[in-house]
A and B are shown apart, each in its own frame.
Chain A
Amino acid sequence: MNGPISPRDLARPIEQLTEIDPKNLPPLPHPYEDWEDPAFKELTDENRERLEHSLDGIVGLKIARPDDEATRAEYVEKFLTGLDKLLDRESNWTFLQPLSLSLENCVKCNTCADACPVYESSGRNEVYRPIFRSESLRRLVNRRRGGKLASMMSRFTGNDVDASWETIARLADLSYRCTLCRRCAQSCAMGVDNGLMTREIRKLFSQELGWSPDELHKDGTVKQLVTGSSTGMNPKGFQDIVEFAQEDIEERLGLSIEIPVDKAGADILVLHNAGEFLAWPENLQAFAVIFEAAGLSWTLSSEIAGYDSVNYGLFYDDVQFARVGMKHAETAKKLGVRKVVMGECGHAHKAAMAIGDRIWLDELNIPRESSFTLLAQLLRDGRIELEPERNPFPVTLHDPCNITRSMGIVEPQREVIRAACPQFREMTPHGVENYCCGGGSGFAIMNSLNFLDWRMLVSGRKKFGQILESFAPEIDDKDLPKYVCAPCSNCKGQIRDLLAHYKAWDRSKLHYGGLVELVVNAMKGVKPGFIDWDEIDMMM
């Protein structure tokens, strides 16, 4: 589309509203001055015909284009009914107050735009401006609430977004161009939360129209509730993983450890993201080594959903969120543990400890704590001891938004990393002001068609630049390995993909991993070499 875009243009019956040209993206810092971003993967004619891509040419949600006008009209009607439910005190009691307050009180000052990494990294594409999305929802709501009068006054009041097929299809896709990182909300003096409104849009589409990314719903929460894990791993597969981990610990470290599973009456139930077991089994192993060395009474669970802490409902659907949360709580209750400890997964922390704090009720209200606070406490109590000189390489820390900005857990992980890594340095900015990795809100597992390109070039761009800058003094030393500590499975997946996409091992010897791996690599009494740089080099 030519000329400036405004929310009302969502309704325009044109093939595509906007396009991202890789040439217009902001440059990356040193040593990427020579880097040329590849073009986005072309959609096939069949995909263009079949799937909605009319927002920005990116297919995130994979909405099938209806052939007939009647079906389109039916969806629009459902969307409008969904708006009513979003504002209903029973159907949306879970978020009605925050939503209403955010809907009614934006003063359009636009301060939030400068805080948004997606908007900035897109070369400031208008449709990614935080208030473009929320203003679209706001205008649709105001039109719906105001009836005929609102329609008549729409030019004056600005409530000028018409509800059409194009509008709802583009809005649905647009709600998957925001990582729900809430950095914009932090900069809003009014307290308005564009991230929250994005999540409410996703929720409307999921709970009313049944539109959600397959990765989050069909292959996410549904799979988790049915087979036990969104990875598809069943309880038997989980047991095999545990056996493998025990053998690997023995082989690598010479330690004979029996990882406890379903140990009734254990003090602690540890909830891990099952993605770790498949992609980074060393994380599970490191936890086991630390907990055994510290003499903790702990267990894992092989119950359905009990061995997978993920709760993708957090990103798109309150009902699915509650269902998965219930399964986690029931698992803890069944085992009779005193507390649940969350492994290195940011959204699982937030789902179980912060939002879930108002879902785990009555006898299911079992205390939950972060593994970061437990680790820091173990160090303080001298139950594990470190030889930090065994981690001589530069290390930086990525702050998962869900754990820092949304939960205020900032210092414990730093206490651990400072004790374990003499070459630790912060990113700028960090802590609660961090930038999202670009894989937040489910993006880290969304790879279909050209969406992976989008999260590499656009949503992850800011973080990749930040990583390069944090290693600036050594970035040109191609023999010195550098470690990005990302203590969250989703962030870790995104950073893995970013480093691979930007060929960061070859160009700057950048690698990534979790927090507990650094601890075990420096742990007194444990054979050195848990982080094996030669092995990493061979795999790259």
Chain B
Amino acid sequence: MPMPQIVLYAAMAFFVVAVIARAVKYARHPVHMRWELYPVAHEKGRAGYGGSHFEESEHWDSPRQIDHVGEARAMASEILMLEGVRRHNRPLWRFSWPFHVGVYLVIVWLGLLLVAGAVWRGGDAPVAMARAIDLVGFVGLVVGLWGALGLLYRRMADPALRSYNAPVEIVNLLAWIVYLGWALGVHAVEGGFASLTAFTGGLVTLQPVAVSTPVAVEIVLGALLLAYLPLTRMFHFVAKYFLYHDVRWDDAPNPRGGALEQRLTKAMDFGVSWSAPHVAKAASWGEAAQGDGGQEDQR
């Protein structure tokens, strides 16, 4: 099997494992104190101004009105429009949004290539499919490259951003620029993506397919980027899900006798290893909370 194919299989496997590992790591954190931040998108009729269920007199007796559609809408506008950055940092959004849209389109493009490869097994895909691949692919690569270059420029030019951006952050952006730029160049010369459709056919059917050196380089660059992504902050999709759902929008109340209360009761048995004088004597959180008030001299 040719080298690009092997590298890509390995990168895909690594990517999947790394993403799952990251999600599992965040999901397995213990229950924590409430720390939501308003507006909370699923507060029915209140999300617009940042209100909450606490606004009800005797809120514990009135049913919570969860607006799933409102939450989905907020998530969609965050994912598709980068609403938070658009609202709070328009100059950054002007590059960040095209970059993200470019990446989304590149993902769709790769999906189309896989479909074409799977359905037509390396043979010629119908014209409509080929056109769709061309359109999505070229637009995605161009827009993504434009955004990445803009982000790089901002990071280098803005003194405030520069002092917080270590070389690694620049390298991360360069990795995208190199990949997107190379892919764009290769396929602009080729006039389309036929070579890749053939390649993905082989990928799906586990058949070796020979590709030209420039395409092989493109595939290896893409594979390396894919494997590198979950090791960096650039892959924040999973973390952002947890940041919103498990922290920022986590307003789950703790009714007496409920499942949450059981988890919290268990957490009270966790050990306390802190060693300042006012804490040191407690063996567990439950014991610490019942402590004598920390009257010990602290310093």
Residues of A within 8 A of B (CB): 4, 6, 64, 78, 81-82, 85, 88-91, 93-98, 100-102, 104-111, 113-115, 129, 131, 135, 155-160, 182, 185-193, 196, 206-212, 217-218, 221-222, 225-226, 318-320, 322-323, 325-326, 339, 353-355, 357-362, 365, 367, 369-370, 373-374, 376-377, 404-412, 431-433
Contact = CB atoms under 8 A, between A and B. Distances in A.
Interface of B: 26, 29-40, 43, 46, 49-60, 78, 82-85, 87-89, 92, 96, 158-161, 163-169, 233, 236, 239-240, 242-244, 246-248, 251, 253-256, 260-261, 264-265, 267-268, 270-279, 282, 285, 288-295, 298-299
What 4 pairs across the A-B complex have the smallest Cβ distances?
A: A158-B166, A408-B52, A189-B84, A225-B293
Contact of B38 (A105, A212, A407): A407
Contacts of B34: 354-355, 357-358
Given A90-B270, A101-B243, A358 B57 contact: no
B59 A319 contact: no
Nearest to B40: A408
Contact of B274 (A89, A93, A109, A208): A208
A207 B276 contact: yes
A93 B256 contact: no
Contacts of A113: 160
A226 B38 contact: no
A129 B276 CA distance: 29
Given A109-B89, A187-B84, A189-B88, 16 more contacts: A94-B33, A97-B247, A105-B240, A155-B166, A156-B167, A189-B78, A207-B279, A221-B294, A319-B274, A319-B279, A323-B291, A354-B34, A359-B33, A359-B264, A408-B52, A410-B51
A97 B164 contact: no
B33 A355 contact: yes
Determine chain A's interface SS by DSSP, over half rule.
helix
26 contacts: A4-B159, A6-B164, A89-B30, A93-B270, A93-B285, A101-B239, A108-B169, A109-B96, A157-B166, A158-B169, A187-B88, A189-B84, A189-B85, A189-B88, A190-B236, A212-B298, A319-B289, A323-B289, A323-B293, A354-B36, A362-B261, A365-B255, A370-B54, A405-B37, A408-B46, A410-B50
Contacts of B239: 101, 104-105, 190
B58 A367 contact: yes
Contacts of A404: 38, 50
Determine chain B's interface SS by DSSP, over half rule.
loop
Nearest to B57: A377
Contacts of A110: 89, 158, 160-161, 164
Nearest to B289: A322
A410 B43 CA distance: 13
Contacts of B53: 408
A193 B249 CA distance: 13
Nearest to A204: B274
A311 to B, nearest CB: 12
B268 to A, nearest CB: 7
A104 B14 CA distance: 20
Contacts of B50: 404-405, 408, 410, 431-433
Contact of A193 (B55, B161, B247, B279): B247
Scoring A105, A157, A191 by chain B CB atoms within 10 A of each residue's CB, the highest score goes to A191
Nearest to A360: B254
A358 B243 contact: no
